[in-house]
């Protein structure tokens, strides 16, 4: 039988967060240099859950030293590290490299400087409710579901808890405060799941502002 959610989180919950940061990114960490993915994980986690970094370091080290054996694999009671493109025999050593970087970040204060999100994972980790709106209401199916963008936003507001709507407004203001140009806003929209262009005559940035203002007014 597979692991229960509580057991999974106790053993591998933060390890899984680190591994998710590598989806679509090269696992090219060395003893001297962190990867772009690990920088993204550290940058976001230091800002939101700094205590979790020590737990990630512990889980990475424990998994590397005690990988699942045949019995646990047969029972399904293990965490499967996603394919990183490296030989399976090298994964354990790589996890130890990550653990060493996390330990150094904690002990020596090696924290990536603030920046705009640099990976797909970081965009979603930093702007989760924006991703919920853009990915859930602004896919290519919008033309079949709503008469236009305004109706889609209205449906989001009508079916979403007001506290989450308020969180979305805050995220949009944070997004607009970043030093982004219009091409960057288009990239942000795509990373966060938007599959259609903003309505005429809005640019992406202007539409984000319009949505934030409209939702804040209720």
Q: pLDDT tens across 115-145, in order?
A: 999 999 999 999 999 999 999 999 988 868 8
The C-alpha atoms of residue 188 and residue 116 are separated, in whole angstroms, by 10
Nearest alpha carbon to residue 45 among 30, 56, 35: 56
Per-residue tokens: 182? 């219009």
Per-residue tokens: 177? 């405060």
Nearest alpha carbon to residue 77 among 66, 85, 87, 92: 66
The C-alpha atoms of residue 98 and residue 35 are separated, in whole angstroms, by 9
The C-alpha atoms of residue 211 and residue 72 are separated, in whole angstroms, by 49
pLDDT at 15 (0 to 100): 95
- SS3 assignment, position 53: helix
DSSP H helices, 109-141, are 120-126, 128-137
pLDDT in tens, the chain (218 residues): 466 778 777 888 999 999 999 999 999 999 999 999 999 999 999 999 999 999 999 999 999 988 765 545 555 556 778 788 888 788 999 999 999 999 999 999 999 999 999 999 999 999 999 999 999 999 988 868 899 999 999 999 999 999 999 999 999 999 999 999 999 999 999 999 999 999 999 999 999 999 999 999 97
């Amino acid at each position: 039988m597979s692991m229960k959610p509580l057991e999974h989180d106790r053993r591998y919950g933060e390890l899984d967060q680190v591994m998710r940061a590598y989806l679509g990114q090269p696992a090219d960490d060395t003893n001297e240099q962190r990867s772009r993915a690990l920088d993204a994980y550290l940058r976001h986690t230091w800002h939101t859950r700094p205590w979790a970094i020590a737990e990630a370091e512990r889980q990475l080290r424990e998994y590397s030293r005690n990988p699942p054996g045949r019995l646990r694999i047969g029972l399904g009671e293990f965490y499967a590290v996603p394919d990183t493109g490296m030989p399976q025999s090298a994964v354990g050593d790589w996890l130890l490299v990550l653990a060493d970087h996390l330990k150094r970040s904690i002990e020596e204060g090696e924290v990536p400087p603030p920046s705009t999100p640099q990976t797909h994972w970081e965009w979603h980790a930093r702007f989760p409710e924006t991703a919920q709106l853009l990915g859930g209401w602004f896919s290519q199916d919008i033309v079949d579901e709503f008469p236009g963008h305004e109706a889609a936003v209205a449906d989001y507001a009508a079916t979403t808890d007001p506290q989450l709507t308020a969180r979305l407004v805050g995220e949009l203001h944070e997004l607009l405060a970043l030093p982004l140009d219009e091409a960057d806003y288009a990239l942000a929209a795509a990373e966060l799941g938007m599959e259609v262009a903003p309505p005429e005559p809005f640019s992406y940035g202007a539409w984000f502002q319009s949505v934030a203002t409209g939702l804040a007014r209720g």
